[in-house]
Amino acid sequence: MGHEIELPDTKWLVDNLIPVKSIGVLYGAPGTFKTFLAMHIADMLASRRPVLGHASEPDNPDVVYVATEGGHNLRYRIDAARRVHGDTPSVGFVRQMLDLRSNMTDCDALVEAISAKGLRPCLIVVDTLAKTFGGGNENDGQDMAAFGHVMSMLREKTGSAVLVIHHSGKDPTKNERGSSNLRGDIDYVFRTKRTASPLDTSSPGGGNILVQKQRDGQDDYSMDYAVELVKFEDGESSLAIREWKDGEARGVELAEVKLSVAAHAALEILRGQISEAGGEGRSDVWKRGVLLRDICTEDTWPGVRKELKLAGAILTLGGKKLAIGASFAVSDFENTQSTPNPQLGGQQVVENKHCSKPQSTLIHTQSTPNPHPRIGVD
């Protein structure tokens, strides 16, 4: 008579959502709060608080966030979360373009930097796949398998779960972008969508997260979450994820945002102009910049502007002044894949999330062709 093999029960980092030492993907269309949701998960784990009603149970609450997107908005994202949830223990931020696909060089350097910082992370967030794909082709099965291998090595070398932020494909109602090899190699898949845009500080927006795959638990169910708009004294704003409150009015569900290539490119130009101008854009300057880069013609410009306005991506402030809509202003917008990271050199930054303006610790690499450079923390 044969003996039954007793398999261990799944150990959860976030109950019924993220298993310990797992690899998963959170994806969605542009403007669906992916980065904000990932930062919320990181914050809640670091403080051992529930994630959208699911208990977080880390043995060690260290979290590392590889933030390749967000740029100058990162400080505001951090402050917005603190205003909504209060102070949380520090999350280590790495702010450099890394190649986590073509070889192990940057992965080993990242592991060494984490260790040198004295962190033992329970979760590493990689935001985004495209920005860490080292110039590979997301539709190529071998390239995607290579990325999956590096994610597995990152998990094994740190003992941490890994959460990868990714984008939806051309049809935002279907699967994530790129080769299906990614989904086959990972433990769970979350899809997020925007259900309502935050109108002001007293009228939150909302989103929904669907558990599409859960290798060791229940899948095919969803959860709603609120998106709170936070305005700062300097005129900037950001968003923070939280649970809906009892009896709180929820906005109607919105269609998925799918912008044309021209509209996306025009929005990115406006984003850059607003950043350079210190928080405000001008319609004439924006139009001139778009036409100068041959994104559209004088004849097609009105259609591009109308598309962005109907999507809530641009707001008119009177006269020629423009702003980017709240769901897009600090979103994880991206349409193109990243260019290769030539080599890990110069500076890498790990930021302490515990303070209002993150204190940066520079991590210097040796200027050497050594494929595994030693990283020291100053």
Distance (Å, whole) CA 369 – CA 289? 40
Q: Is a pLDDT exceeding 70 seen at residue 307? A: yes
Per-residue confidence (pLDDT) for residue 112, from 0 to 100: 94
Distance (Å, whole) CA 117 – CA 324? 37
Of 31, 69, 38, nearest to 52 (Cα)?
38
Q: Which residue has the tokens 């969508």?
A: 193
Domains of the chain: 12-253+338-365 (3.40.50.300), 261-329 (1.10.10.10)
Per-residue confidence (pLDDT) for residue 330, from 0 to 100: 45
Express as a percent the part of the chain with pLDDT over 90: 48
Q: Is a pLDDT exceeding 60 seen at residue 334? A: no
Q: Is a pLDDT exceeding 50 seen at residue 361? A: no
Instruction: Select the more confidently predicted residue: 333 or 92.
Output: 92
Query: Strand pairing of 205-214 and 221-231?
Result: antiparallel
Instruction: Select the more confidently predicted residue: 339 or 253.
Output: 253
Which of 182-191, 228-237, 315-324 holds the top average pLDDT? Answer: 182-191
Per-residue confidence (pLDDT) for residue 2, from 0 to 100: 55
Of 225, 161, 126, 177, nearest to 337 (Cα)?
177
Per-residue confidence (pLDDT) for residue 317, from 0 to 100: 72
The string of DSSP codes covering 140-164 is -HHHHHHHHHHHHHHHHHHT-EEEE
* Identity of the residue numbered 158: T
Q: pLDDT band at residue 74, thresholds of 50, 70 and 90?
A: confident
Which of 138-152, 214-228, 321-335, 340-354 holds the top average pLDDT? Answer: 138-152
Give the mean pLDDT of 91-98.
89
Per-residue confidence (pLDDT) for residue 174, from 0 to 100: 76
Per-residue confidence (pLDDT) for residue 311, from 0 to 100: 76
Residue 135 — left, alpha, or beta (φ > 0 → left; ψ -120 to 50 → alpha)?
left
Give the mean pLDDT of 127-154.
95
Per-residue confidence (pLDDT) for residue 375, from 0 to 100: 33
Tens-digit pLDDT profile for residues 179-229: 999 998 899 999 999 888 776 667 788 999 999 999 988 888 999 999 999
Per-residue confidence (pLDDT) for residue 160, from 0 to 100: 97
Give the mean pLDDT of 142-150.
96
CB 56 within 8 A of CB 44: yes
Give the residue ranges of DSSP H helices in 172-325: 181-185, 261-277, 283-292, 301-310
Per-residue confidence (pLDDT) for residue 72, from 0 to 100: 63
Per-residue confidence (pLDDT) for residue 368, from 0 to 100: 29
Instruction: Select the more confidently predicted residue: 278 or 91.
Output: 91
Express as a percent the part of the chain with pLDDT over 70: 79
Per-residue confidence (pLDDT) for residue 71, from 0 to 100: 58
CB 14 within 8 A of CB 7: no
Which of 101-115, 318-332, 354-368 holds the top average pLDDT? Answer: 101-115
Tens-digit pLDDT profile for residues 149-175: 999 999 999 999 999 999 998 777 778
